[in-house]
Amino acid sequence: MKLLEVEDVHVRYPAGGRLKAAFTGAPATIEAVAGVSFAIEPGETYALVGESGCGKTTLARAINGLVPASSGSIRFNGAEIVGRSDRALRSTRREVAMVFQDPVGSLSPRLPVRSILAEPFRVHRLGGLNLDREIDRLLDLVGLPAVFAQRYPHQLSGGQARRVGVARALALEPKLVIADEPTAGLDVSVQGEILNLLNELQERLGIAIMIITHNLNVVRHIAHRMAIMYLGRLVEEGPTKQIFAHPRHPYTLALLSANPEPDPDAELDRLAISGEVPSLLSRPGGCEFHPRCPFMTEMCRTVAPASTEADAAHRFTCHHPR
């Protein structure tokens, strides 16, 4: 059975109100996530890639029940998440943990690390545990000495704060960890340490990881499968190795071709895309990528492409795949 199944999920936010929409013709809502579907297997690493503002974090928060999905279905271990109350989601939230994007800002500045790591046990009312022993276990799990339990977030480096965030996410032994930009703002050497840590924890604990990033080098290093997101929709999804070797959607091809090349003498064949990302308040007709696509035809302006399967595991939405 799939660990996580996301089917045709939409997340909408108010955009000025219905009265303003009635008088100006502007949309009453913006669609941050627009019909996303995918699944994650137990023990798998799944990467969600895209530009800032494309809806990656909103989708992750909807999966964790932190943002309500407007429609669609999100099933974790077969149990529906959409439409359930906070009380009903309590057991699910023990099994779906989140590592937030800002390593220091996601930790309370008023609490020492010990209290931060003890909080999940208190929130879920898990009495009868030796908290000191649990906190020492969690710190050891992420490679920090026990003395760090007495430190405050402002006394931690970015990498140390990230490790504390990972330890907090693992406190209740979840089955899925959602890591939102786990390497953002970190030095390259520290990024490698965090990625290796996530790989080691996955092998040791058997957890599934959903990683949200725009860093393609991170994806290549850690993910089994990946999906490319644009304007709240998935434009391509499949095994990481296959997409890196044979990207089908022009947006995917442009992202991969923009990836930095460490060899200064390498001959680069860049695919440039022009223009800015359209506003969610005025989505383009037809294929929403067509205003920036170098391969656009008249069909792309008027007809939205259907999802096409290159094979059983690789799908994309494009009239003129590469």
129-181 pLDDT, tens digit per residue, is 788 899 999 999 898 999 999 999 999 998 899 999 999 998 888 999 999 98
Give the separation between CA 90 and CA 87, rounded to whole angstroms: 5
Structural tokens at position 310: 């290159």
* Chain CA centroid to CA 135, Å: 27
Where b means 16+ CB within 10 Å and e means fewer, 28-43 reads ebbbbbbebbbebeee
Q: Domains in the chain, please, with CATH? A: 4-260+269-316 (3.40.50.300)
Q: Where residue 59 falls among pLDDT bands split at 50, 70, 90? A: very high
Please give the structure tokens belonging to residue 106: 């996601």
CA atoms in the 13 A half-sphere facing the CB of 217: 11
Element (H, E) at 162: helix 158-170
In contact, 8 and 73? CB cutoff 8 Å: yes
CB distance 236 to 228 below 8 Å: yes
Q: What is the pLDDT of residue 113?
A: 94
Q: Has residue 261 got a pLDDT over 80?
A: no
pTM: 0.90
HSE-up of residue 14 (Cα within 13 Å, Cβ side): 5
Tell me which of 259 and 313 has the higher pLDDT: 313
d(CA 133, CA 116) in angstroms, rounded, equals 15
